[in-house]
Amino acid sequence: MARPPRRLLLLTEGQLNIYDAKMAVAVIRYQPAQAAAVLDSTRAGEPLEEIIGVGQGIAIVASVADGLKYDPTGLLIGIAPAGGGLPESWRAIIRDAMEAGLDVISGLHTFLGDDAEFAGLADEHGVEIWDLRRVPENSPLATGRAASVPTLRVLTMGSDCCVGKMVTALELTAGARERGWDAEFVATGQIGMVVSGSGLVIDRVIADFCAGACEQLVLERARRQALFIEGQGSLIHPSYSGVTLSLLHGTAPQAIILCHEPGRETIQEHTVRIPPLARLVELHERTAGLIYPSRVVGLSLMCYRMTQAEAGLLMAQAERETGLPATDPLRFGVGPLLDRLEALL
């Protein structure tokens, strides 16, 4: 499988916000050197940093042609829509990119490489299509062996989708390395894969083998001191709870970091209510404990729209409610979480 090209045109057409354009935002935050420009005709010329909070100096362009002056080598589909389909209107943009000699990287469920037109264009123009969601045909069944490797396994889990599970795992990995730990980020979704260069899109695995594929991610990295495993979905999400449980039971983490966006009261696009933090902690430990006695050891609370003072007060309140260290990794760092995890090394 090809490594992502170094200079990416990040396609977010009409969806340039931190939720819908998670993929693009993650590349800008974690691999800024790879971000050539953002392609979004609805925001062309606007200052990127004011829209998504990061990306100062990265241009927003209106078309592939406009983007070429930033020397891209590839086009990255910068959104991760529910269900993973390809918006029909994006076909022309992808076509333009391939005709301009750009590789295409996609995390959509619809494989671009299986599309006759795109496959033909790739041949014709000598470019590559990297479908991040393509997984091995055959994974083994889970055996429960992840529980017995000595590696510290830390899984980020969340109250919902888009509450910082990947960001928290990435920040923990970076912080742990700064402390000298032999730590690795384990990507379980397409965005994490682009950012880290390895991993597996676990929600694409056949359900019967999903826990087994998660277990393999741990076993293959069993010589590391610590793994920070990117969580997926939520145990209380009607669409994804099964994937979340496969990941939890397949990786058998000693430690869970629980992620939440304060103020969010129900699961996005659903009516399921998100319980209070202390109850969330309890239900995660109970559900993990069906197989392995994982413990929630800290909270990651993304406070996108708050002042620093408001966020600080909220952390203190969450700590009182749960007895656990709480932080917003992007504002306050992950020190309090790593302090707690250090005892488990």
User: According to CB under 8 A, which one of 84, 262, 325, 329 is a site residue for a second copy?
Assistant: 84
**Smallest gap, in angstroms, from Cβ of residue 146 to a second copy?**
9
Q: In this chain, which stretch among 37-45, 95-103, 166-174, 244-252 interacts with a second copy, using CB under 8 A?
A: 244-252
Query: What is the Cα–Cα distance from 92 to 120, expressed in whole angstroms?
Result: 14
Residue 111 binds to a second copy (criterion: CB under 8 A): no
Residue 321 in 3-state DSSP? helix
Residue 253 binds to a second copy (criterion: CB under 8 A): no
With respect to a second copy, which residue has the nearer C-beta, 103 or 160?
160
With respect to a second copy, which residue has the nearer C-beta, 15 or 34?
15
**Smallest gap, in angstroms, from Cβ of residue 34 to a second copy?**
26
Task: Identify the CA nearest to 298 among candidates 175, 191, 148, 172.
Answer: 172
**Smallest gap, in angstroms, from Cβ of residue 335 to a second copy?**
32
With respect to a second copy, which residue has the nearer C-beta, 29 or 133?
133
Query: What is the Cα–Cα distance from 225 to 217, expressed in whole angstroms?
Result: 14
Residue 188 binds to a second copy (criterion: CB under 8 A): no
Query: What is the Cα–Cα distance from 76 to 78, expressed in whole angstroms?
Result: 6
Phi-psi region of 303 (alpha: psi -120 to 50; beta: other; left: phi over 0): beta
Residue 254 binds to a second copy (criterion: CB under 8 A): no
With respect to a second copy, which residue has the nearer C-beta, 130 or 240?
240
Please, is 323 exposed, middle or buried when counting C-beta atoms within 10 Å of its C-beta (0-12, 13-18, 19+)? Answer: exposed
Residue 249 binds to a second copy (criterion: CB under 8 A): yes
**Smallest gap, in angstroms, from Cβ of residue 224 to a second copy?**
22
Residue 158 in 3-state DSSP? strand
Which residues, including other chains, have CB under 8 Å from residue 249's CB and lie 6 or more apart?
142, 211, 288, 290, 291, 292
Residue 86 binds to a second copy (criterion: CB under 8 A): no
Per-residue x/- mask for a second copy, residues 202 to 231, rule CB under 8 A? xxxxxxx-xxx-------------------
155 within 8 A of 256, measured Cβ to Cβ: yes
Residue 240 binds to a second copy (criterion: CB under 8 A): yes
Token digits of residue 43 = 């925001």
Residue 18 binds to a second copy (criterion: CB under 8 A): no
Task: Identify the CA nearest to 103 among candidates 194, 239, 207.
Answer: 194
User: According to CB under 8 A, which one of 174, 272, 306, 314 is a site residue for a second copy?
Assistant: 272
